[in-house]
Amino acid sequence: MAECEAAAALGPVGPGYRFSRPHTFDEAQVRAFALAAGDENPLHHDAAFAQGTRFGGLIASATHTTSLLMGLTASHFATKGKVLGMNFSVDLLRPVRASETVLIEWRVTSMAAHSKGGCVLELQGAIKSADDRTSVLAQGTVLFTPAS
């Protein structure tokens, strides 16, 4: 990819740049998020039903986990300039349990100048459990314009 004209202003942001944060789910949060998102699958809000499934309890909805992934890109880059999400895709590999603490992380894989200014950042992300197993794998593209 073409080199980003604003690379000098980006400082450490570039290929290899990483950012992350932990998140702890709880049953009330998992229930509320799923229902607010319109996801009425009982795996996310009916503990008695979920207990009888192969998961043995409530699991977070995909809308919940992917929202946290995308939200981290927005909140992280917004502290450094302007950011606009352009594209995200996810692979749901393992369930995230309603009482689990995970690490939400992203890595910049490439950077290119955008024709109207700023940089297009390609990202690889994941949600990992405490035992370092990947539950959700993601790819994203954001348009980032560093603060002057």
Q: What angle do CA 108, 92, 50 make, to 5 degrees?
A: 140
- Mean pLDDT on 59-86: 95
Predicted local distance difference test score (pLDDT) of residue 13:
80
Q: Which of 24-33, 78-87, 89-98, 110-119 has the lowest mean pLDDT?
A: 110-119
Q: Which of 28, 93, 86 is nearest to 62 (CA)?
A: 93
Confidence of residue 116 (pLDDT cuts 50, 70, 90): confident
Does position 21 have pLDDT exceeding 50, yes or no? yes
- Mean pLDDT on 122-137: 97
Does position 20 have pLDDT exceeding 90, yes or no? yes
Coil, helix or strand for 61?
coil
Does position 3 have pLDDT exceeding 80, yes or no? no
Q: What pTM does this model have?
A: 0.89
- Mean pLDDT on 39-68: 96
Please state, as a whole number, how many other Cβ atoms lie within 10 Å of the Cβ of residue 89.
10
Does position 89 have pLDDT exceeding 60, yes or no? yes
Predicted local distance difference test score (pLDDT) of residue 1:
39
Predicted local distance difference test score (pLDDT) of residue 2:
41
